[in-house]
Amino acid sequence: MSRIVIACGGTGGHLAPGIALAEVLQSRGHECILLISQKQVDSALIEKYAHLNFHKTPGRAFSGGLTKWIASCWSLFSGCIFSHKLVRKEKPDLVLLFGGFLSLGLGLAARFKGVPVAVHEANCRPGKAVRFLKYLAMRVYLPDGVSLPGVRTDCIRYFGYPVRSDVKHSLKADAWKRLGIVVPNKLLVLIGGSQGAAALNEWVVDHFTTLAKSGISIYCVTGLGKNSAGMIEQVSDSGEIVTATFVPFSDQMGEVISAADLVISRAGAGSIAEIIRCRAPAILIPYPYAADDHQQANALMHEQHGAGIVLKQDHVDNLLNEVEGLIFNDWMLSKFKSNLERLDRFDSSERIASDIEELCAARSLAATQKSELAL
């Protein structure tokens, strides 16, 4: 049995794959410790995973302003101290870093103690943390077609994004039932990622009356702190009651996405991976202020695979026309679904878990040989 420490908190896009991988490793008999942030989104996401071992750690992302920058530096220092104590106490066989501010302290502490480091980059444009951590890593997991200069090719594995086992494709009617909604015609689902998207939430409120007339129901995951839960009703032109359902957070994302005829989403790597797993045609609206504009890169890659379309946020005035033109185009939706199925060609969690087992076994063998030579 190996012991693996996984730094995966801060955003749903980091935490969700950490959970997915920990579940596979734990099922194979390994011990996993997951480091998460003190953010509300982390606390909400882990509620249904009581069987996993989570540790909240200090740390905050770097942000603008001198005061915030100083606070972030102090937070990074505190995170390094915390990680150093953790590595010394737990003596892990490997640490796995999913990027973000929580990964830096653990990566440095592990390297200092001689513990192997693996890094996972989910986005098509690697972030600052991963661009730094690559120098500490003996293994780097990347999306297909993404390069990371400065890393030896034998250290790279193109194993994709681990999706949680409970996020899976299901029939729309079954998903509607589990969500407790009635859909007389078409369902449009909006998800703004783990942080929500105010622009998408506002768009729903502004355009629901028009959508309802065409028989389009709405299910909108607004994001924690963005809106309260609720439902509004309208009557379609054919006399049917059409609803718009708003929920701040959902731990049933497999059902939410599978329920949709069409999804409108931000373009975080996690959202796209779950859209692929649940075979949902999507209009992706990249968050324009994402670090390194990585959401735009993610969205364009998805579009190039013929799995959806991309719309820039400054063109959101065209979104209503795009929705109405696509959601009733069954031929195009079917084509998108076929391409989505082709993209979901293997289980990333299983592949990464197997590779981590090999890395841990190699380390154990090297340690044994060293001890024998010493004797």
Per-position DSSP letters for 76-117, written without gaps between them: HHHHHHHHHHHHHHH--SEEEE-SSHHHHHHHHHHHHTT--E
Residue range(s) in the chain whose domain bears CATH number 3.40.50.2000: 3-165+346-374, 172-343
Q: How far apart are the C-alpha atoms of 155 and 141, rounded to whole Å?
A: 9
CATH architecture of 172-343: 3-Layer(aba) Sandwich (3.40)
Taking each helix axis from N to C terminus, what angle separates 330-343 and 319-327, rounded to the nearest 10 degrees? 90
Which stretches within the chain are classed as H helix?
A: 12-27, 40-45, 66-90, 101-112, 128-133, 172-179, 198-213, 253-258, 269-277, 294-304, 319-327, 330-343, 348-374
Please name the amino acid found at residue 197.
A
Q: Take residue 173 and report the two structure tokens written for it.
A: 């009617």
| Contact indicator for 112, 67 with CB cutoff of 8 Å | no
- Helix/strand number for the chain, H first, E second: 13, 14
Say what the pLDDT of residue 195 is: 55
Q: Cβ–Cβ contacts within 10 Å for residue 127, how many?
A: 18
* 0.75 surpassed by pTM: yes
Write the Ramachandran bin of 76: left for phi over 0, alpha for psi from -120 to 50, otherwise beta.
Answer: alpha
Q: What is the CATH number of domain 3-165+346-374?
A: 3.40.50.2000
Strand 241-247 relative to strand 230-235: parallel, antiparallel, unpaired? antiparallel
Q: Tens digit of pLDDT per residue, the chain (375 long)?
A: 899 999 998 888 899 999 999 999 999 999 999 999 888 888 889 999 999 999 988 765 555 565 666 656 666 677 788 889 999 999 999 999 998 878 988 999 999 999 999 999 999 999 988 999 999 999 999 999 899 999 999 999 999 999 999 999 999 999 999 999 999 999 999 998 655 578 889 999 999 999 999 999 999 999 876 567 899 999 999 999 999 999 998 999 999 999 999 999 999 999 999 999 999 999 999 999 888 899 999 999 999 999 999 999 999 999 999 999 999 999 999 999 999 999 998 999 999 999 999 999 988 887 777 776 776
Which of 10, 75, 6 has its CA nearest to residue 37? Answer: 10
Q: Can you tell me whether residue 156 is helix, strand or coil? A: strand
Say what the pLDDT of residue 253 is: 95
Say what the pLDDT of residue 61 is: 59
Say what the pLDDT of residue 269 is: 95
Phi, psi (rounded to 5 degrees) for 90: -85, -25
Supply the DSSP symbol for 239. Answer: S
Q: Cβ–Cβ contacts within 10 Å for residue 163, how many?
A: 24
Phi, psi (rounded to 5 degrees) for 374: -65, -30
